[in-house]
Homo-oligomer: A and B are copies of this chain.
Amino acid sequence: MPSAEHIADTVNRYISLVAKGSADDIAELYAEDATVEDPVGGEVHIGRQAIRGFYSAVENTERDCELVTLRVAGNEAAFQFRLTVKAGDGGMVIEPIDVMAFDDEGKVAAMKAYWSAENVTQL
């Protein structure tokens, strides 16, 4: 089982990569057969290749991302964060709560993102 410290480090690395990393870098945090459901209730992206494709949508945007709250328990984490995406003079801020479950190798096995249009603010 991954340590609480490893889980916290991975979440912090995830946040910094969502801010400034490539889709490849982010996908590398996930297990080969991982799943991503973002938002919960939407399409589930299965496998690292599909997950890379999902993150490539934000890869070339001007953006910032900061961790608000982190809770680690067992081999899972729940965390609130704030993603700002700039677009011309405007943009938007999204503030989800994400949950990640980790596998024995310390890779993210499953991620679920809890947010809806209500949690998006236009800049």
Q: Which residues of A contact B (CB under 8 A)?
A: 4, 39-42, 69, 71-80, 96-97, 99, 112-116, 118-119
Contacts and interface: CB of A to CB of B under 8 A. Distances in A.
Closest 8 CB pairs of A and B: A41-B74, A78-B114, A40-B73, A71-B114, A78-B97, A40-B74, A39-B73, A73-B114
A83 to B, nearest CB: 13
A67 B74 CA distance: 23
A73 B4 contact: no
Contacts of A119: 71
Given A41-B74, A75-B41, A99 B96 contact: no
Q: How many copies does the complex hold?
A: 2
A97 to B, nearest CB: 4
B114 A77 contact: yes
A95 B118 CA distance: 23
14 contacts: A39-B73, A40-B74, A40-B76, A41-B74, A42-B74, A69-B69, A71-B96, A71-B114, A71-B115, A71-B119, A72-B114, A76-B112, A78-B97, A99-B99
